[in-house]
């Protein structure tokens, strides 16, 4: 619809427009917005007092306090600014397998939906791609809901390929973005757990409000289509593992995958991160309706 993926129906877009980002801390923005900023400003929310100095706007003198203390104080209010939103989209080779699961498409939809929520709220969005065939997405802030079409066109030009180290890549990304804000990382997180925790910890240390969205394939999670003796080849590292898959092995594989997701989720919750898991065998729109709080969103 209007250059957006088919899943972005008018109903779904209307639903997204009703959503707002929920942050656990205040971030300084780049312009006027709807989110409280740590800066002093002119909003209605009281922030603090300070002694009156000549030149201050006497409309903000707290006359009641002057009557009680016989001292002149100026009321300070918080500033309301836009929220800087960073959406990191994993476009590594692992997102392309299993092909039947369309994991990358689901990740792309998730990234666009989050971007649209931000743009519809008047916030600025920077979409950043991890790995991938070619960087068709410029790492700059976009503003205004109409820019979602531009983002969609650029994201659709991506092809998942290559590999990357999660921790070191996020470290470089952190150095590039500088300003703190809301961070969404959309990935399958099929990597070593310590690399994941290390990368996410870096963002926490930079006072980012991080949400991890894990995208897994339904067939991938069940090892569906694998039977008998199989030589599995890692799509990124090329590592080959010879396994013989029967029902028992399939069950153990699923347990291993679920354990990995549980470990990521546990880390996120302990460290104050949002975490949500989407498996591609579920309806994407339903996922967004139900996972509002997990994604760090609010109506």
Partner 1 sequence: MGFLYPGGLIFFVIVPVLIGAYLARERPARVIVSSAAAFRALRGFRRERFGGLPRLDWTFFLETLVLCLAVLAIAGVYVLRPSNPLAVVIDNSAAMQAKTSSGQSRFQLALAKVDAMLADEDGGSPVYVYVSAPQPHRFGAPYSTITEARAALAGLNPIDAPNQQSAVTAMLTDIASEGRFNRIIYAGANAFAAPIPPKIHAIAVGDAVPNAGIGSFSLRREAFGAEALHAALTVGNFSTESKTFEVAISGDGRELARAKLALGPGETGAVEFPSLAPAGIYRAELTPPDDFALDNVAYATAGAVRSVPIVFVSPTPRDADGLDSIPGVSVTTRTPDSFTPADLAAADLAIFEYTVPKDLPPVNSLLVMPPASDPVFDFTTTAAAPLQIAGWRNTDPLSDSINFRLLNLQRGEYLAQNQWMSAVVSGDGGALMLRGERGGHRFVATGFNPFPYLGRRNLPMSILTLNALGYLAGLGQSSAGFRTGQPWLVPAGVTRVILPSGRKRRTTPGTLFTDVDQQGVYDLETGDGSRTPRAINLADLSVSDLQNLPQFRIETTGGAEVQPANEKSSLSSDLIIAIIALLTLEALIAYRRRRRILAEA
Closest to 170 in 3D by CA, of 156, 184, 158: 184
Q: Token pair 């950043």 is at which residue?
A: 128
Site string for partner 1, 199-218 (x = CB under 8 A): ------------------x-
Q: What is the CA radius of gyration of the chain?
A: 23
Closest to 208 in 3D by CA, of 176, 189, 188, 184: 184
Site string for partner 1, 68-107 (x = CB under 8 A): -------------------------xxxxxx-x--x----
Question: Which parts of 225-254 interact with partner 1 (CB under 8 A)?
Answer: 225-237, 239-246, 248-249, 252-253
**Which residue, 50 or 262, is less far from partner 1 as judged by CB?**
262
**Which residue, 80 or 188, is less far from partner 1 as judged by CB?**
188
Find the binder of partner 1 among 126, 174, 190, 196 (CB under 8 A): 190
**Which residue, 9 or 246, is less far from partner 1 as judged by CB?**
246
Q: Are strands 182-187 and 240-245 parallel, antiparallel or unpaired?
A: unpaired
Q: How far is the CB of 50 from partner 1 (least distance, A)?
A: 56
Q: Check residue 132 for interaction with partner 1 (CB under 8 A).
A: no
Give the separation between CA 298 and CA 11, rounded to whole angstroms: 18
Residues facing residue 41 across a β-bridge: 77
Give the separation between CA 234 and CA 191, rounded to whole angstroms: 11
Give the separation between CA 191 and CA 278, rounded to whole angstroms: 17
Interacting residues toward partner 1 by CB under 8 A: 93-98, 100, 103, 188, 190-192, 217, 220, 224-237, 239-246, 248-249, 252-253, 256-257, 260
């Amino acid at each position: 619809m209007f250059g957006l993926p088919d899943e972005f129906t008018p109903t779904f877009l209307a639903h997204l427009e009703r959503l707002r980002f929920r942050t656990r801390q205040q971030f300084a923005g780049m312009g006027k917005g709807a989110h409280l900023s740590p800066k002093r400003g002119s909003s209605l929310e009281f922030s603090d007092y300070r002694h009156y100095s000549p030149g201050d706007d006497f409309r903000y003198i707290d006359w009641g306090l002057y009557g009680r203390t016989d001292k002149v104080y100026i009321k300070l209010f918080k500033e309301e600014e836009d929220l800087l939103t960073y959406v990191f989209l994993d476009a590594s080779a692992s997102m392309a397998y299993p092909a039947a699961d369309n994991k990358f498409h689901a990740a792309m939809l998730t990234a666009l939906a989050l971007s649209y929520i931000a743009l519809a709220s008047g916030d600025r969005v920077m979409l950043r791609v991890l790995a991938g065939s070619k960087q068709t997405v410029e790492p700059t802030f976009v503003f205004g809901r109409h820019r979602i079409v531009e983002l969609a066109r650029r994201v659709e030009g991506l092809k998942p390929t290559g590999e990357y180290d999660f921790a070191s890549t996020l470290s470089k990304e952190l150095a590039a973005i500088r300003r703190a804000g809301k961070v969404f990382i959309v990935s399958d997180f099929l990597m070593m757990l310590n690399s994941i925790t290390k990368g996410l910890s870096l963002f926490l240390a930079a006072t980012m409000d991080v949400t991890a969205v894990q995208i897994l394939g339904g067939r991938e999670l069940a090892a569906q289509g694998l039977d008998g003796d199989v030589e599995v080849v890692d799509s990124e590292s090329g590592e080959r593992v010879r396994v013989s898959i029967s029902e028992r092995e399939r069950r153990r594989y699923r347990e291993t995958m679920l354990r990995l997701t549980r470990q990521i989720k546990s880390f996120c919750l302990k460290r104050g991160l949002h975490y949500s898991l989407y498996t591609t065998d579920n309806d994407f729109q339903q996922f967004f309706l139900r996972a509002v709080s997990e994604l760090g969103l609010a109506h």
